[in-house]
Structure 1
């Protein structure tokens, strides 16, 4: 099972240090999502990421920065649904919130489906699908290895994610919620390593 980490939607102090640390620990793909940011602020964060890690970063906004910094790719959403001058080695992914959207997958390297569980980063944002619906979607091959589960993902529910047929997990709240408050880098690494163990085991 593959692992993707998504950033918080707002900047916080020493964020680049935390991101560089996760890359050093073995993070393969980071989705940089700052929906309310200005391009200058996003550039400032990217300037603080070590050069050897930039090709592991996917952007959700300000797509003109993808080629400027030689990033990994583009993530499409309602705000931004058209990549800028995609190169052949760059990825395109997309956010989905309905099963019908998963069927339009030929143009994408992978898709996010959310929320699978109650969100940890957005209080009150409840899961959108029942277990029966998810299992039917798996049987219909709407959920498959190119689809990543997003929303409320923790180590304790990853076995369910596998049961539903997802090829990976996209994690936000479990990793970042406590870190934004306590800035405990060792605990951030510990949580990430637990996710890595699951990535390797499932």
Structure 2
């Protein structure tokens, strides 16, 4: 089954919790809470407004100490912090995912994570100038070398119109950010995306 993951906007904004609640009510997917610059106090303010029934589907990218307190699904370990994997595991953290930008990093890391983000697959919708480093030809060749892509998740520039291509590349799923948050109707956009992901 093709996996869909939704990633939060990087910055906090007014009315965000309400939209997160609506988004998470549209389907059964993991939601990645990524707030690089938010203080613990401000992050807590946001979390107190999110329905507790959704906590078990949230993966947090910062403030790992909140994972057990809120009963999150687990934590995301950025590539730069993968060296801390053993220490965090020893502390009892559930390490769910990590990120790579070079495909040769996938196989060595694959066994330690439920899924791994590869980005950017397409030019980013939310981050100007953030584009793929691979040509399509090289990307297809490198992906062909990966025998087991069952936990490789595409990220970057993904929207309904290129979803079929994501699947043709052989990815196990797609993470969306810009197509949802840059939309004037994020909930409807996600609903259409989820429907399309099940159909293609």
> TM-score normalised to the size of structure 2?
0.90
Which secondary structure state, in structure 1, belongs to the residue aligned with residue 183 of structure 2? helix
Alignment of 1:21-170 (within 5 A): 21-78=22-79, 80-81=81-82, 82=84, 83=88, 85-86=91-92, 90-104=94-108, 105-141=110-146, 144-170=149-175
Cα distance in structure 2, aligned partners of 1:86 and 1:120: 35
Alpha-carbon contact 2:183-2:189 (below 8 Å) kept = no
Q: Secondary structure at the match of 1:103?
A: helix
Counterpart Cα distance in 2 of 1:174 and 1:41 = 25
In the TM superposition, what is the alpha-carbon distance from 1:120 to its structure 2 partner?
0.6
User: Per-residue deviation at 1:137?
Assistant: 2.2
Output the CA distance in 2 between the equivalents of 1:47 and 1:28: 20
Using a 3 Å threshold, how does the CA distance of structure 1 residues 27 and 18 change in structure 2: closer, same or farther? farther
Equivalent in 160, 176, 179 of residue 174 of structure 1: 179
CA distance in 2, matches of 1:16, 1:69: 15
Give CA deviations for 1:24-47 in whole Å, capped at 9, x if unaligned. Answer: 111421000001111111121111
CA shift for structure 1 position 199? 2.2
Dislocated runs of 4+, deviation >4 Å: none
Gap runs ≥5 in structure 2: none
Cα separation, 2, equivalents of 1:22 and 1:80: 29
Q: CA RMSD in A?
A: 1.6
